[in-house]
Every structure is written in C-alpha cells, then in structure tokens.
Amino acid sequence: MPEALVSWLQQQVGVPLRQQSPVAGGCIHNAWQLEFCDGRRLFLKSNQAAAFPLLEAEADGLRALAAAAPPGLQIPIPLACSVVDQQAVLLLPWLALAPGPAPSAWQQLGQGLAQLHRQSLRCGPGQGRFGWHCANFIGATPQPNSWQQSWVFCFVEQRLGHQFDLAQAAGRPFGRAAALLQRAWQLLADHTPDPALVHGDLWSGNAGLLEGGGAALFDPAIYRADREVDLAMAQLFGGFPPQFFSAYEAEWPLPAGSRGRLELYNLYHLLNHAHLFGGGYRQQAQACMERLLG
C-alpha cells in the first residue's frame, strides 16, 4: 500500500495502520480489510483515480439508505471518500459477515427492507418523485437519473431505453427493442406505485447476515422507484431464501399484479449483464424480451 495512502488512513482514523489484507469477491475495485493499532477493523475499496465517480456514487447511496434504515438493518456509513496518490478510495466500517445460514436473520433482512422502503417515503430527497438527484452506476454501467413524476417514464426511458441505447452504440442492438419498450409502457400504464428508495442492485452478493445476528445491505445503485424492483432482483440470481420474502410480505404486502411485473423489472439487469459481460446473458435478455412480447 503506498505510503501516501497509509498516511491518509492514519489521518482519517487517528491511529497507525497495523496491517492490511486483500478481500476477494469484487469484480470492479480492490478491497482490503484494515486493522489499526487500537484494534479497530475497517474496510477499504480502492481503484484508479478515474473510478472515483463510482465510489462517490456508492457513498451517496449508502448514506441515503442509512437515513431510512430501521435499527435492525445495518448499512455501512462511509467514513471517507477521496482520491489519494492517484487512487480513488472509499473507507467504510468493517462488516463481520456470518459464514452460514440463519433463517431468523433472513427474516430480519426481509422485514428490514420493507421498513426501509416504507420509511423512505417520508425522508430523503425527491419525496413523491421517481429517479434520483444525480446519475450513478449499476455495476460499472452509468445509470442516468432525473426526477420524474411518472414511474413508467422513469423505468422505460431511463432504465430499459438507456440499456438499448448502450447496445446500439456498441454495435450489438437487440431485436424488437422498440416493440419491447412499447410493451413495457402498456404493462406499467395503470401501475401507480409509491416512489420508495430502492437498493437497486439487490442480489445476494450485496446483502449479508452478520455475526451475532442482524443483516446488512451494501453496494447499492439507488434511486426512487417501485419497491417491487428490489424484490424482483432478489429472485433473479438466487441466494435469497423463502424466509426473506415471507417476512417482507408480512411487514408490507406487495400489491396485486406484482408477479406479472417481475420479469419486466428483471429485464433491466439482464440487459446490463449482457452489456457488461456478454456471453449467455445476451441470450437470456433476448429470450426474456420474447416472452414479454408474447
């Protein structure tokens, strides 16, 4: 670790760094567990300076989620975010994640997410509107945001339409994209959800159970949206057990018709994975489009 970064860390924490250990699992940034001379452990993400906007957007999302989260749901609040010696860095509390399953903690996560969604209707920027106050990222993909009164416009234009534009610009357009956008307008035309603050990238790798009980959320791609988008993605790549969904439903039941919107909402993530990784995700996205078009 560069000396300038070690010095910056000591300034932020107030005590010298004792040791650092790489943490595996991420595909964009480098990650480190830091141990300081007073026994504290923290988490550091680092990347080239050009990646600072990604870390800055992550910090913004974590702060917004933390402001709406109930006591039983832990969101790591950023301690510092900066560029140090040509490295973009984000300093966070260390989350001691539990290695094994804990049904009660999954229930707590489901209940906590429902409470966060409901509480967010009464706090934070943009109440009553969809979108967010700034653009951010879904993975490494730019995610445009602007405030909208209409959920259907927000999702169809700023989410699906943006992904189709990226595919077109890359020379890999999707067949029947225009028809799919028209179909999406039809499917959402009569749906008027409340604009809740959503995690936005809720797969099992961005949530965890904590040692000693409780649960945590991290690595968000937030915006104000239909809360169903979080519950839909939680079913896309597996990892969330039935206890999570039943606890959410018990706390705040989803409205009628939510099952019919699930595949449409998850098309956004399939398109994004096709953009980032190609391969089989492109076939999955096209097949999803064909099912929605009927």
Picking from 53, 71, 93, the residue at the C-terminal end of a domain is 93
Long-range contacts of 123-131 (CB under 8 A, 24+ apart): 123/67, 123/68, 124/64, 124/67, 124/68, 124/197, 125/64, 126/195, 126/224, 127/195, 128/195, 129/195, 129/224, 130/154, 130/155, 130/195, 130/223, 130/224, 130/225, 131/158, 131/223, 131/224
Q: Is residue 232 part of a domain?
A: yes
Instruction: Assess whether pLDDT exceeds 80 at residue 112.
Output: yes
Structural domain count, the chain: 2
pLDDT tens, 168-220?
999 999 999 999 999 999 999 999 999 999 999 999 999 999 998 889 999 99
Picking from 93, 112, 142, the residue at the C-terminal end of a domain is 93
Same domain, yes or no: 67 and 159: no
Q: Is residue 248 part of a domain?
A: yes
Confidence of residue 228 (pLDDT cuts 50, 70, 90): very high
Residue 63: which CATH number?
3.30.200.20
- CB within 8 Å of 177: residues ≥ 6 apart: 164, 167, 168, 289
Q: Is residue 285 part of a domain?
A: yes
Q: Is residue 28 part of a domain?
A: yes
The span from the CA of 44 to the CA of 78, in Å, is 10
Q: What mean pLDDT is predicted for residues 257-271?
A: 97
Confidence of residue 27 (pLDDT cuts 50, 70, 90): confident
Same domain, yes or no: 242 and 116: yes
Q: How many other CB atoms are there within 10 angstroms of residue 44's CB atom?
A: 24
Same domain, yes or no: 192 and 63: no
Instruction: Assess whether pLDDT exceeds 80 at residue 289.
Output: yes
Instruction: Assess whether pLDDT exceeds 80 at residue 25.
Output: no
Q: How many other CB atoms are there within 10 angstroms of residue 226's CB atom?
A: 27
The span from the CA of 247 to the CA of 268, in Å, is 25
- CB within 8 Å of 255: residues ≥ 6 apart: 193
Token pair of 150 as six digits? 């209409």
Instruction: Assess whether pLDDT exceeds 80 at residue 50.
Output: yes
Instruction: Assess whether pLDDT exceeds 90 at residue 282.
Output: yes
Q: Out of 85, 190, 201, 226, which one is annotated catalytic?
A: 201
136, 143 Cβ separation under 8 angstroms: yes
pLDDT tens, 136-182?
999 999 999 999 999 999 999 999 999 999 999 999 999 999 999 99
CA 56 to chain centre: 14
Which of 265, 208, 258 minimizes the C-alpha distance to 233?
A: 265
Picking from 93, 122, 155, the residue at the C-terminal end of a domain is 93
Higher pLDDT, 129 or 25: 129
Element (DSSP H or E) covering residue 35: strand 30-36
The three-point CA angle 107-246-132 to 5° equals 80
Q: What mean pLDDT is predicted for residues 267-276?
A: 97
Long-range contacts of 6-15 (CB under 8 A, 24+ apart): 8/82, 8/84, 8/85, 8/89, 9/34, 9/44, 9/91, 12/79, 12/80, 12/91, 13/40, 13/42, 15/40
Instruction: Assess whether pLDDT exceeds 80 at residue 71.
Output: yes
Instruction: Assess whether pLDDT exceeds 80 at residue 80.
Output: yes
* CA dihedral (156, 157, 163, 165) positive or negative: positive
Same domain, yes or no: 118 and 241: yes
Same domain, yes or no: 125 and 213: yes
- Active-site residue, 201 included: yes
Q: What mean pLDDT is predicted for residues 15-44?
A: 93
Residue numbers of the domain that contains 224: 103-293
Same domain, yes or no: 45 and 158: no
Average pLDDT for the chain: 95
Same domain, yes or no: 219 and 279: yes
The pLDDT assigned to 239 comes to 75
Same domain, yes or no: 57 and 164: no
Q: Is residue 98 part of a domain?
A: no
**Percent of the chain at pLDDT exceeding 90:** 91
Token pair of 40 as six digits? 């504290």
Same domain, yes or no: 33 and 171: no
Q: Is residue 269 part of a domain?
A: yes
Q: What mean pLDDT is predicted for residues 223-232?
A: 98
H-state helical runs in 69-195: 103-120, 151-155, 162-169, 177-188
